[in-house]
Amino acid sequence: MTAIPPTICPYCGSKELIRTVPEKDPFNVMVICHSCQRVITPEHDKPHGKTTTAVRTIAEKAIQISLNSGKLHGIKYYYTEVNKLPDTKTTLQQAKDTMESLLQARGLTSAVKKPSRNGCVIALIIILLIIASIIYFYTHR
């Protein structure tokens, strides 16, 4: 029994919905709202519980954190907050996959802040200074 896709976005009320078929999982058809760019799942037809709404809210905040601070921080937030909810336990891999699929479905993958490489550069400079100090010590005796 397949669920009938909704005709109105439950988030913003828009009637402009896009039906997509992901390349990696062609059996999992997704419906995305053209206005708010949110994925509409078949569970929207079912009565909502507090847990479903809470997970959705956590996912929205995790996406914002990913955009501002990086994907790692967003995944960490999603993982810790979802595991605080009763009757919802997730693994770190599931949290990572969920965050990546949410970002990809909204087309935000390229907008996520990339990690800084300053730590590696600083470590390399310190190592070079140590090597230069050792060479100077042994050549100027």
Cβ proximity of 65 and 74 under 8 Å? yes
Cβ proximity of 78 and 85 under 8 Å? no
Cβ proximity of 40 and 17 under 8 Å? yes
pLDDT in tens, 63-112: 888 888 888 888 899 998 888 887 778 888 888 888 888 888 878 777 77
Label residue 19 by pLDDT band (50, 70, 90).
confident
- Report if pTM > 0.75: no
The C-alpha atoms of residue 91 and residue 94 are separated, in whole angstroms, by 5
Burial class (CB in 10 A: 0-12, 13-18, 19+), 62: buried
Q: Which domains does the chain have, with CATH numbers?
A: 1-46 (2.20.25), 47-115 (no CATH)
* Contacts for 78 with CB less than 8 Å, ≥ 6 apart: 58, 59, 62, 95, 98, 99
Q: What is the pLDDT of residue 68?
A: 84
* Adjacent-strand bridge partners of 40: 31
Q: Is the pLDDT of residue 46 over 50?
A: no
